[in-house]
Amino acid sequence: MNRRVFWLAAGFAALLFQGLHAQIRLPALFTDHIVLQQKSQANIWGWGKQGTKVTVKGDWPGAKASTVVDSTGKWMVKLPTLKAGGPYEVNIKAEYKSKKEGKQDTLITLRDVYLGEVWLCSGQSNMAWPVRRADRAEEEIAAADYPLIRFFTVKRAYSPTPLEDTEGEWVLCTPETVADFSAVGYFFGRELHQRLNVPIGLIHSSWGGTPIEAWMSEYGLKRVDAYQSELAKIQQLRLHADSMRQVHQQAMAGWTQQVLARMQGMPRGEVLHAGDWQQMKLPTLWEDAGLKGVDGTVWFKKEVDIPADWAGKRLILELGPVDDMDVCWFDELQIGAHQTTGVYDKPRKYEVPATAVQPGRHTILVKVMDTGGGGGIYGRPDQLKLYPADAPQAAISLAGNWGYKLDVKLDGLPPAPQLPPIEGPRAPMNLYNGMIAPLMPYTINGVIWYQGESNTSNPDLYRELFPAMIRDWRLRWNIGDFSFLYVQIAPFRYGSPLVGARLREAQLAALELRGTGMAVTMDIGDPDDIHPTNKQEVGRRLALLAMDKAYGYPDVPSSGPMYHFMKIEGDKIRLYFEHTFGGLEARGGELTHFEIAGKDKRFYPAKAVIQGETILVSSEQVPQPVAVRYAFTNDAVPNLYNAAGLPASSFRTDKW
């Protein structure tokens, strides 16, 4: 962390004594470059010795608050903040005095502090999706020089009980830091920064492939009647957690050995001298470079010229994260390996012994083994490098073209042993405990949320869980009903019919809660890819919602047309809408994806015609219509917009 600690003491002995007994501790959220919510009572908290007086002072007018560490070793103050500005310093002074231990003072200083707008960015993989994998990634990364946009990325962690702290630090938005940050979060923050002209703080806490119940507290789940039987099962399973964990570890070890045996492929020497090597620009997931759907073994090769003055020096090879497993050689020498699953996000750092380092050309060879999902050497370009251990500033970049050769393509791989139902990031409560609870009660303006794909198996339950989670977070944050803005899931070809449409319907229903807003993505999805890459427009639409819902700009169009009610007019049905902003539009020709049905509940394709701010729907096959549906399928990409250019959500007028 970049915060600085100074000891205020009369002598060296006192200094040592203070180091043992008087130091207070701040959560990971409080580091240099922090953004505090402007015009608020910003919560600042930490831990210390009971009875210690804690004074927090910022160098803007009126910024002072004091408290005493309580009997649990915790303290918290509310620091008044002014309108956006900075840079400032915040000093946290701890004073402890007792007859036995004497006087002990501690001072922690946070530097480069700004007051601005703070938002939490959370959800599953579409929120976690990094800028480097979004549309026009190279262009966006190169232009990402916004020192007044700051990022804090919460380390991924799951826990059966609420954690008090996380890991991470605040960093400035630069081309180096933005590449791995949430694309939706960044584009949302950039739009706000440009519109409001204030510092923006973005806290990113997400995990791909996770259901909503993982992000809810136990208290929140207890308030959902439909979830009570599941909670009862969880309570019983917790009684056997240790034995279940041991059984899973043994099963996983056996499965991993089976996978590694299947992935042996060609010997290293044979691969090294084989022909037919192709080129791939690293870092990247190989699915993004032409090997779509490939699980198995891929070899990567890079030639590197060692300077004369590196001769006889110990070198460090960094590859960044590798998904899933890897073995690495420097010429003939194996210098490192990770051959267990679950380390796909761990940066690889290997040592080349001094005896192997001679001037001239050398070969780096990496065997990458992927068991499912994305695979490859996929970090940031600055993470791929080779340098002397004593001179990291002299690093040679290894980013760019590497030779690659597909060796083993896994087919029919047995599924990995499932984690116990109470273990892992998908288990109920585990991500709330590990990645949300440590953030509370950091003062934020609101939340942006992109999640739902992992709950399409039960849209009816999601309809209850989602608003319950919003209420629960607001209750536990205890800073009022902050804005909660979310993304409706995009069209995708799910395996079961209508589950995507019904999940979108459940998300639509959550708009009944005060202070919520929904960004529709019906028009920017990809039915063949659950991760559409146009994150720029997703972030922009969320920012429009923020301008309306959080910042009081009602004239900013923030919503697409919303179905309001219908009237039957003979053999036709007229649909009425809210949020038309002066009219309705059909992009690319006539309206598509409308269906109409009679009392027999059989839907037929319908003709839909815009008439002012209404739509008249009909079909010759349905002379007595009673219901209409619009884009109510998993993968429809329809074309109804309002005059502001924002798309309509899928909807239905029936409850069948």
Query: Lowest-confidence range among 415-419, 460-464, 488-492?
Result: 415-419
Residue with tokens 């039960």: 458
C-alpha distances (whole Å) from 543 to each of 84, 235, 486, 524, 568 are 18, 40, 11, 16, 37
Give yes or no: residues 382 and 458 share one domain: no
Give yes or no: residues 584 and 507 share one domain: no
| pLDDT for residue 418 is more than 90 | no
Q: What is the mean pLDDT of residues 48-72?
A: 97
Give yes or no: residues 395 and 310 share one domain: yes
Position 19 confidence tier, pLDDT thresholds 50, 70, 90: very low
Q: Is residue 249 part of a domain?
A: no
Phi, psi for residue 607 in degrees, rounded to 5: -90, 130
Provide the CA 13 distance to its chain's centre, in angstroms.
47
Q: In three state form, how does the secondary structure of 391-458 look?
A: CHHHCEECCEEEEEEEEEECCCCCCCCCCCCCCCCCCCCHHHHHHHHHHCCCCCCEEEEECCHHHCCC
Query: Are the C-beta atoms of 171 and 1 separated by less than 8 Å?
Result: no
Query: Lowest-confidence range among 142-156, 260-274, 303-317, 632-646?
Result: 260-274
Q: Is residue 144 part of a domain?
A: yes
Question: Interhelix angle for 459-477 vs 499-509, to 10°?
Answer: 30
* 3-state secondary structure at position 58: strand
Query: Lowest-confidence range among 55-69, 306-320, 412-426, 533-547?
Result: 412-426
Give yes or no: residues 75 and 197 share one domain: no
pLDDT at position 154 is 98
Using a 10 angstrom Cβ sphere, with 0-12 exposed, 13-18 middle and 19 or more buried, the burial of residue 539 is buried
Give me the sign of the Cα torsion angle 263, 267, 268, 274.
negative
Give yes or no: residues 13 and 144 share one domain: no
Q: Is residue 647 part of a domain?
A: yes
Give yes or no: residues 155 and 106 share one domain: no
Query: Are the C-beta atoms of 368 and 376 separated by less than 8 Å?
Result: yes
Give yes or no: residues 380 and 464 share one domain: no
Give yes or no: residues 447 and 333 share one domain: no
User: 549, 579, 610: which is the final residue of a domain?
Assistant: 549
Question: Could you give the CA distance from residue 502 to residue 454 in angstroms, rounded to a whole number?
Answer: 13
Closest CA to 516 of 559, 486, 547: 486
Give yes or no: residues 339 and 377 share one domain: yes
Q: Is residue 145 part of a domain?
A: yes
Question: Could you give the CA distance from residue 536 to residue 515 in angstroms, rounded to a whole number?
Answer: 23
Q: How many structural domains compose the chain?
A: 4
386-406 pLDDT tens trace = 999 999 999 999 999 999 999
Closest CA to 402 of 501, 505, 319: 319
User: 493, 517, 549: which is the final residue of a domain?
Assistant: 549
Position 501 confidence tier, pLDDT thresholds 50, 70, 90: very high
pLDDT at position 3 is 52
CB atoms within 10 A of CB 612: 9
Question: Could you give the CA distance from residue 345 to residue 321 in angstroms, rounded to a whole number?
Answer: 5
Using a 10 angstrom Cβ sphere, with 0-12 exposed, 13-18 middle and 19 or more buried, the burial of residue 408 is middle
User: 92, 115, 138: which is the final residue of a domain?
Assistant: 115
Angle at 50 between CA 20 and CA 18, to 5 degrees: 20
Q: In three state form, how does the secondary structure of 590-603 look?
A: CCCCEEEECCCCCE
Q: What is the mean pLDDT of residues 177-184?
A: 96
Q: How many CA atoms lie within 13 A of 482 on its CB side?
A: 24
| pLDDT for residue 18 is more than 80 | no
Tokens of residue 369, six digits: 């083994």
Q: What is the mean pLDDT of residues 333-337?
A: 96
Query: Are the C-beta atoms of 217 and 476 separated by less than 8 Å?
Result: yes
| pLDDT for residue 5 is more than 70 | no
Q: What is the CATH number of the domain that holds 58?
A: 2.60.40
Question: Could you give the CA distance from residue 176 to residue 230 in angstroms, rounded to a whole number?
Answer: 44
Query: Are the C-beta atoms of 584 and 643 separated by less than 8 Å?
Result: yes
Q: Is residue 636 part of a domain?
A: yes
Residue with tokens 């923030």: 558
Position 297 confidence tier, pLDDT thresholds 50, 70, 90: very high
Give yes or no: residues 353 and 456 share one domain: no
Question: Could you give the CA distance from residue 116 to residue 125 in angstroms, rounded to a whole number?
Answer: 27
Provide the CA 586 distance to its chain's centre, in angstroms.
33
Tokens of residue 203, six digits: 């806290």
562-597 pLDDT tens trace = 999 999 999 999 999 999 999 999 999 999 999 999
Report strand pairing: 74-80 vs 85-98: unpaired
Q: What is the CATH number of the domain that holds 395?
A: 2.60.120.260
Give yes or no: residues 286 and 385 share one domain: yes
Give yes or no: residues 462 and 499 share one domain: yes
Position 53 confidence tier, pLDDT thresholds 50, 70, 90: very high
Tokens of residue 33, six digits: 């470059």
Question: Could you give the CA distance from residue 107 to residue 283 in angstroms, rounded to a whole number?
Answer: 42
Residue 108: domain span: 4-115
456-489 burial by CB neighbour count: b if 16+ within 10 A, else e? bebbebbbbbbbbbbebbbebbebeebbbbbbbb
Query: Are the C-beta atoms of 149 and 505 separated by less than 8 Å?
Result: no
DSSP 526: B
The region, left, alpha or beta by phi > 0 then psi within -120 to 50, assigned to residue 128 is: alpha
Cis (ω within 30 of 0) for the bond into 324? yes
pLDDT at position 8 is 37
Question: Could you give the CA distance from residue 369 to residue 286 in angstroms, rounded to a whole number?
Answer: 12
Question: Could you give the CA distance from residue 626 to residue 613 in angstroms, rounded to a whole number?
Answer: 21
Question: Could you give the CA distance from residue 302 to residue 398 in angstroms, rounded to a whole number?
Answer: 8
CB atoms within 10 A of CB 309: 11
Q: What is the CATH number of the domain that holds 490?
A: 3.40.50.1110
Query: Are the C-beta atoms of 577 and 562 separated by less than 8 Å?
Result: yes
* 3-state secondary structure at position 244: helix
Give me the sign of the Cα torsion angle 478, 480, 483, 486.
positive
Position 13 confidence tier, pLDDT thresholds 50, 70, 90: very low
C-alpha distances (whole Å) from 360 to each of 305, 310, 356 are 5, 10, 12
Percent of the chain at pLDDT > 70 equals 97
Query: DSSP string spanning 185-200?
Result: HHHHHHHHHHHH-S-E
Position 4 confidence tier, pLDDT thresholds 50, 70, 90: very low
DSSP β-bridge partners for residue 329: 334, 365
Angle at 623 between CA 618 and CA 624, to 5 degrees: 95
321-356 burial by CB neighbour count: b if 16+ within 10 A, else e? bbbbbbbbbbeeeebbebbebebbeeebebebeeeb
The residue type found at 150 is R
pTM above 0.75, yes or no: yes
Q: Is residue 258 part of a domain?
A: no
Q: Is residue 418 part of a domain?
A: no
* 3-state secondary structure at position 107: strand
Q: Is residue 130 part of a domain?
A: yes
| pLDDT for residue 367 is more than 80 | yes
| pLDDT for residue 203 is more than 90 | yes
